[in-house]
Amino acid sequence: MCALAFYFIRMPIDHWLSDYVGKNTNAFAFIRVLYAPLTEEPAKLWPILIPWIYRRITPQNYVRVAIAMGLGFGLGEAWTVAGFLAKNPDIAKYPWYMLTGFIGERVMVCFMHAGFTGAALHFIIVRRWLFAGTLCAMLLHFLGNLPIYLAQQDFLGFGKVAWQTILSLWVPICVLFMIVELAYFAYGTGWLLKLIGKTKCPECGTVYQRPLFCINLFIKCYERCPACKHWHLVDIWNRIKE
């Protein structure tokens, strides 16, 4: 879907606008920021127009569907961008680990796509607002890409180094926000406690809510039972989910 949207929608629009507006204008640079939100979000969501797919998406499973659609599109986007890189012969001079920045960014973008789609399906499936869901996904996508345009224009005169720092922080912040959003849609207001889960004290047998902060030893946690007040080593995966 990413490649189809890029080559058959974005590229023709780009060629037309470059002749009509001009490549070196601020208006053209800003319009290009809108390409991805306006083309990629419908490209991800079009399968729900198929009746037998739409009927299988429910308020109980739409988050999982959004993750599948978003991650799938993100992988296709990574493949498309990798195709552009492969056309540059200079890339072949570098060992694979020099591309870890590209790999890390593409992985994070996959989660961002899942978050955009999750917001869209929340409105479409839960609230039955088709256009509001699509517009919400487009708006989130636009906000995710906006700092790129601001950096190109050196907005507020921060300078190139400052904007590079902002961009390096912006993507992880967006990824974290998308993960929190999906967790909220899936688990509600108490999503963090439900993700952590409950466990049983190995000494007194009391079932208690796992603490948010504890001494993490990778496979075990050293934490205090609120009933017997004793500290224990508890298996991280020894959780009792509601």
pLDDT in tens, 170-205: 999 999 999 999 999 988 877 777 777 888 888 898
Average pLDDT, the chain: 89
Q: Is the pTM of this model over 0.75?
A: yes
The answer to whether residues 236 and 215 touch, using CB atoms and an 8 Å cutoff, is no
Residue 101: how many CA atoms within 13 Å on its side-chain side?
4
The answer to whether residues 207 and 238 touch, using CB atoms and an 8 Å cutoff, is no
The answer to whether residues 200 and 207 touch, using CB atoms and an 8 Å cutoff, is yes
Band of pLDDT at residue 88, cut at 50, 70 and 90: confident
Residues 6 or more apart in contact with residue 228 via CB below 8 angstroms = 201, 203, 204, 206
What mean pLDDT do residues 83-102 have? 86
pLDDT of residue 236: 77
pLDDT of residue 242: 54
Tokens linked to 222: 């050293």
- For residue 110, pLDDT over 90 is answered with yes
Q: Which residues of 29-62 are buried (b: 16+ CB within 10 A; e: fewer)?
A: eebbbebbbbbbbbbbbeebeeeeeeeebeeeeb
Band of pLDDT at residue 136, cut at 50, 70 and 90: very high
